C-alpha cells in the first residue's frame, strides 16, 4: 500500500501531555513539519484561546479537531444543563480555533445508574440540544464511539454503527454538521468496521485517529501503543477510510503513562512521523 | 422483578480458584446447597476426570458447563490441528462429566498476526471441525463472545451477533449442538443485546454467566465484581434471557485477584447466594 502523505499527520496533544503544554506542542509541530494539531481543552484553557488561535494561525497549522465535548448524561436536569452549557463553550472555542470538528466523547452512566439505555437517550437529547449551535457556528460535531471497555464511565456510544444511527436520527439530510471520529483504538475489533465506514461516507467521516493496541494491554486507559507496536492493521483501516472518501488528517493520539509520556516529546514526534510513514 | 430460583445458582470454579481445587469446590457447593458447578480444565485434570465425575454425581450436581475449549487460531496448520485435538479431548471430558455444554473461548490473533478477519475464519474452520464430534458425544458447544477488550489475545468473537452468525452458518437447522454462552461481563454494553438474545432463542442459549462490571475496573482480566457491586442491570438481562426461553442455571464466574480470590471461599459462596437472590 502507498505510504500516507506526511502532510496529513496531525498531533493530538494527548500524545505529548506528559511534558508539553499547548504552546510547546504548537511550536513542536511547526519545528517538526507536522501540519495538523488537535488540542485538549485543559491545555487550551491554560494557554488562553485567543493566544492559542494566534499561534496556530501564525504557523498555519490545521486544527484537526477540538478535544473534547460530550459527557452529556447526568443524574439530574441541572447536571445535564451544565453539560450542555459546557458543550456550547467548547463549540465557541472550536470556532475560534477554526477547528475542523468538535470531538465528542459522549459520557457514560450517570453516577449510581445501571440504565445504559437511558444514558444513551440522554446522549441523544444532549446532541439534539447543541446541534443547532454547532451548525450556526460552522463547527461539525464528531461523535467518537469509544471502546466498549469505556461504556460505563466514559462513553455509552461504543460502535460506529451506534454513532451513525445517531447521525441518521439527528441529521438525516447529512448536512455535514454531524458525523463521526474514527479512532482505530476504539473500533479496530469491530466485525462491522468496514461496512460502517462505508456507510458513514465522506460527509460523516470527520476525523481519523491513529495509535496501536498493545498485547498485552496493562491499563484500560493509559497504555496505548505507537503505530506499529501493536496488532492494529492500520493500512487496512486507512484503505477503508480512503475508499469511503475520507481525505483528511491522520491524528496521532496516544495515552501512555508508562512509556511515551515519559519520553522527550521531540523524539516522540520524530517517531510519530517515521511510524506514520511506515505503518499509517 | 421476582427473585431468581436459588436452585439455579451455579458456581464456576474460576470464582474460588484462589483457594480451592475442584474437589473442594464440589464439596463446597454441596455444603452450601449450590446445585450447579462449572469446572475449569486445569482443576479437572488435577483432580482426575473419573474421580471428579464420581464426586459430582455423588452430590447430584449439574455441570452447567465445562470451561473451556476453543483457542482455535494458530500461526500454522500444525498449531491449528493441535488446537482441534485439544478440543476433542475437552468434548470427551465434558461428556464424561455430563456437562450441559462445552464453553468455547475461541481465541484471538495468532502470534505476529494483525489479520483479525483471518483469525475469525480460522475460528469458523475450527468450529466446523469439532462440531460433528460434539454432536456425536451429545455435548453442545457454547460459543462465548468475549468483551472486545479481549479481541486480540483471547477471543475474536466479541458480540452475540457474531456468535449467532457462526451458529447460523454451521448449524442452520438449530439442532441444539451449537449455541452461545451469555456472560453479562462481556455483553452488558452491547446496544443489540436484547435483540440478539431474542434471536438466539431457547435452543441456542446454552449458558448464562453472571458477575458485575466494576467502576473503575483496574485490570483487564482479574477485576470482575460480585453481583451488585457494579453497574450491570442483572435483572434486566435475566428478564431478556427468560423471555427468550432460557430456563437454565445462573453461573457465577468472578475473576478477582485482589478481592474475591483472597477471601475464604465458604464466605464467598454465602455472598454469592445472597447476591444472587438480591441482584441476580
Q: What is the pLDDT of residues A39-79, one digit of tens each?
A: 999 999 999 999 999 999 999 999 999 999 999 999 999 99
pLDDT tens, B64-101? Answer: 999 999 999 999 999 999 999 999 999 999 999 999 99
Block residue for cell numbers 501493536: A230
CB-CB under 8 Å, A152 with B189: yes
Q: Is the pLDDT of residue B1 over 90?
A: no
Partners of residue B114 in chain A, C-beta under 8 Å:
231-233, 236
How far B91 CA sits from the closest chain A CA (Å)? Answer: 28
Residue B245: band (very low, low, confident or very high) from pLDDT cuts 50, 70, 90: very high
Q: Is A48 left (phi over 0), alpha (psi -120 to 50) or beta?
A: left
How many CB pairs below 8 A link A and B?
A: 78
pLDDT at site A1: 83
Task: Look at residue A29 in the predicted model and tell me its pLDDT.
Answer: 98
Measured distance CA(B19)–CA(B17) in Å, rounded: 5
Q: Which whole number is the average pLDDT over A177-194?
A: 98
Burial letters for A48-85: b for 16+ Cβ neighbours within 10 Å, e otherwise? ebeebbebbeeeebbbbbbbbbbbbbbeeeebbeebbe
Task: Say yes or no for a CB contact (<8 Å) between B189 and A158.
Answer: yes
Partner-chain contact A231 B152, CB within 8 Å: yes
Q: Is A114's CB within 8 Å of B156's CB? A: no
Average pLDDT, chain A: 98
Distance CA A242, CA A235 (A): 10
- Tell me whether residue A23 is exposed, middle or buried, using C-beta atoms within 10 angstroms of its C-beta: 0 to 12, 13 to 18, 19 or more: middle
Closest alpha carbon to A44 in A70, A12, A5 = A12
A85-104 residue pLDDT tens: 999 999 999 999 999 999 99
Q: What does the alpha-carbon distance between residue A77 and residue A228 come to, in Å, rounded to a whole number?
A: 45
Q: How far is B220 from chain A (nearest CA, A)?
A: 7
What is the sign of the dihedral through the CA atoms of A11, A17, A22 and A23?
Answer: negative
Mean predicted confidence (pLDDT) in A199-223: 97
| Cβ–Cβ below 8 Å for B232 and A114 | yes
B144 near A CB under 8 A: no
3-state secondary structure of B244: coil
Give the pLDDT confidence of B30-53 residue by residue, as tens digits: 999 999 999 999 999 999 999 999
Distance between CA B17 and CA B256 in Å, rounded? 9
Helix/strand/coil for A252: strand
| A148 contact B CB<8A | yes
Position A18 pLDDT exceeds 90: no
Backbone angles phi, psi at A22, to 5 degrees: -70, -40
Residue with cell 455472598: B271
The answer to whether residue A63 neighbours chain B at the CB level (below 8 Å) is: no
pLDDT tens for B199-239 read 999 999 999 999 999 999 999 999 999 999 999 999 999 99
How far is A71 from A110, CA to CA, in rounded Å?
Answer: 10
Q: What integer is the mean pLDDT of A19-32?
A: 98
In chain A, residues 153-172 whose CB comes closer than 8 Å to chain B: 153, 156, 158-159, 162
- Going by C-beta distance under 8 Å and a sequence separation of 6 or more, which residues neighbour residue B43? B13, B17, B21, B22, B25
pLDDT confidence tier of residue A194, bands split at 50, 70 and 90: very high
A13's grid cell = 496533544
Q: What is the mean pLDDT of residues A189-198?
A: 98
- Helices (H), strands (E): how many in chain B? 10, 9
B114 touches chain A (CB under 8 A): yes
Tell me what pLDDT residue B18 has: 86
Backbone angles phi, psi at A151, to 5 degrees: -60, -35
Q: Does A147 contact chain B (CB < 8 Å)?
A: yes
Query: CA–CA separation, A130 vs A137, rounded Å?
Result: 11
Instruction: Report the run of H or E that residue B252 belongs to, with start and end.
Output: strand B250-252
Peptide bond into B68 cis (omega under 30): yes
Give me the percent of chain B exceeding a pLDDT of 70.
Answer: 100
Contact between A37 and A63 (Cβ < 8 Å)? yes
Q: Are strands B141-143 and B178-183 parallel, antiparallel or unpaired?
A: parallel
Place A108 in a pLDDT band, splitting at 50, 70 and 90. very high
> What does the pLDDT read at residue B12?
98
Q: Measure the CA–CA gap between A214 and A120, rounded to whole angstroms.
A: 29
Among A152, A191, A230, whose Cβ lies nearest the Cβ of B213?
A152
Q: For the residues B106-135, what does the mean pLDDT come to?
A: 98
Amino acid at each position: 500500500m502507498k505510504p500516507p502523505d506526511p502532510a496529513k499527520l496531525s498531533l493530538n496533544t494527548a500524545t505529548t501531555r506528559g511534558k508539553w503544554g499547548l504552546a510547546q506542542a504548537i511550536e513542536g509541530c511547526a519545528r517538526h513539519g507536522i501540519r495538523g494539531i488537535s488540542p485538549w481543552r485543559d491545555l487550551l484553557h491554560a494557554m488562553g484561546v485567543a493566544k492559542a488561535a494566534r499561534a496556530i494561525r501564525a504557523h498555519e497549522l490545521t486544527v484537526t479537531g477540538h478535544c473534547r465535548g460530550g459527557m452529556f448524561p447526568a443524574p439530574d436536569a441541572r447536571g445535564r444543563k451544565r453539560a450542555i452549557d459546557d458543550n456550547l463553550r467548547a463549540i465557541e472555542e472550536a470556532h475560534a480555533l477554526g477547528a475542523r470538528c468538535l470531538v465528542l466523547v459522549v459520557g457514560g452512566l450517570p453516577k449510581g445508574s445501571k440504565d445504559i439505555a437511558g444514558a444513551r437517550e440522554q446522549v441523544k437529547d444532549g446532541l439534539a440540544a447543541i446541534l443547532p449551535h454547532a451548525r450556526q457556528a460552522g463547527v461539525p460535531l464528531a461523535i467518537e464511539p469509544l471502546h466498549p471497555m469505556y461504556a460505563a464511565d466514559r462513553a455509552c456510544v461504543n460502535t460506529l454503527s451506534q454513532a451513525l444511527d445517531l447521525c441518521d436520527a439527528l441529521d438525516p439530510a447529512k448536512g455535514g454538521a454531524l458525523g463521526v471520529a474514527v479512532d482505530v483504538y476504539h473500533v479496530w475489533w469491530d466485525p462491522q468496521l468496514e461496512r460502517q465506514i462505508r456507510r458513514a461516507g465522506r460527509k460523516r467521516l470527520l476525523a481519523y485517529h491513529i495509535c496501536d493496541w498493545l498485547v498485552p494491554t496493562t491499563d484500560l486507559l493509559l497504555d496505548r501503543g505507537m503505530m506499529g507496536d501493536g496488532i492494529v492493521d492500520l493500512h487496512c483501516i486507512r484503505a477503508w477510510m480512503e475508499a469511503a472518501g475520507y481525505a483528511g488528517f491522520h491524528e496521532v493520539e496516544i495515552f501512555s503513562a508508562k512509556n511515551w509520556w515519559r519520553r522527550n516529546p521531540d523524539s516522540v514526534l520524530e517517531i510519530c512521523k517515521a511510524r506514520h510513514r511506515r505503518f499509517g
